[in-house]
Amino acid sequence: MFSEPRLYQTENDLDAMRDLLRQGRLANNGSYYVHPGDLNWWLYYPPLVHDFWSSIYLWDDPDQPGEILAWALIPPDGSTFDVVLQPGLRGSPLAWETYHWTVRQATSLARGAGCESTSVFWISEHDALLRGWLVEQGFELVRQGVNMECDLAAPGPAGKAPEGWVVRGSHGVAEVRERARAQYGAFGSSAEFERYVQRFTCFMGSPVYDPACDVVAVGMDGQIGAFALIWPDQVTRAGLFEPVGTHPDYQRKGLGKAVMLEALERLRQQGMRQAIVTTPEDNLPAIKLYELVGFRIARRLLYYEKKFS
């Protein structure tokens, strides 16, 4: 029986949300589940305009106290949404009720914010069930990304830093401005830089940040030219890369390859069996880099949008 969700309350809820993602990834039932590291990144490194903590909705499991049946993430402007369900609910009436509620909530928020559409990403190209439902509800496929995987069972090629550069773990807040500047440039941010630094400082002080998992290429002048943030998960034995980038001033020097190879080795040392990364399908330089260090395309992830009439 469908019931209204409740808002996020405590860290126990976050643990339950991560556990649901792990269950889904291990079930491998046709639905795509993001890595727990994606959730950590979204929540602890939120967009500059808002955070997501007040935008999380959870459906409790009435038969198992402390467990949840599903959760949804809908930002205040309703421009996008995510739904995560227990794997066993796939295709059930309860699952579709959950999706219906989430789309209604996102639509209401989006209209209130003056948005002309709402959208959802992370839909596997192989998930005919959910893709069909979205089309029935008036959603259209607008773009796609590639989800790539790297088998970590075998030793990888040795990484080597270009001359004049050192590849290592981040020093955290001690070099926050350099780290923020590298990412600011790599992604062409138009935000005010000091706000960007403040955002990065908060992230580095959060419980999910591990400097050893923030691999950077540092020049003789202390500037960071490239970075790769990794998220190992001991339950699924999969490590996520999110984000990866090279500052435009330091491209074509081999820095991206160097940080990727070092990060892959760190994942192996932590017992990971697989590494994953996602990028837009038209980001050919990134795809080429990932293939160069051992990644292969596993699936395409689709982005659906519903415009309001």
Q: Are strands 296-307 and 274-280 parallel, antiparallel or unpaired?
A: unpaired
Do residues 287 and 146 touch, judged by C-beta distance below 8 A?
yes
pLDDT tens digits, one per residue of 259-274: 999 999 999 999 999 9
In terms of Cβ atoms closer than 10 Å to its own Cβ (0-12, 13-18, 19+), residue 106 is: buried
pLDDT at 232 over 80: yes
Q: What per-residue confidence (pLDDT) applies to 65?
A: 86
pLDDT tens for 168-209 read: 999 999 999 999 999 999 999 999 999 999 999 999 999 999
The model's pLDDT over 99-148, given as tens digits with 9 standing for 90+, comes to: 999 999 999 999 999 999 999 999 999 999 999 999 999 999 999 999 99
What band does 1 get if pLDDT is binned at 50, 70 and 90? low
Q: Helix or strand or coil: residue 82?
A: strand
pLDDT on residue 275? 98
With left for phi above 0 and alpha for psi between -120 and 50, is residue 71 left, alpha or beta? beta
- Tokens 């088998």, residue located: 151
* Tens-place pLDDT, residues 65-102: 889 999 999 999 999 999 999 999 999 999 999 999 99
Q: Mean pLDDT across the stretch 252-261? A: 96
pLDDT recorded at residue 35? 98
299 vs 148: CA distance, rounded Å? 7
| Longest alpha-carbon distance in the chain | 63
- For residue 82, which of 123, 48, 112 has the smallest C-alpha distance? 123
Task: Quickly state the pLDDT bin for 31 (edges 50, 70, 90).
Answer: very high
CB atoms within 10 A of CB 128: 10
Domains recognised in the chain with CATH numbers: 6-115 (3.40.630.30), 154-272 (3.40.630.30)
Distance of CA 274 to the CA centre of its chain: 16
Q: What percent of the chain is modeled with pLDDT above 70?
A: 99
According to DSSP, residue 211 is labeled G
Report residue 239 CA to chain centroid gap. Answer: 12
- pLDDT above 90 (res 222): yes
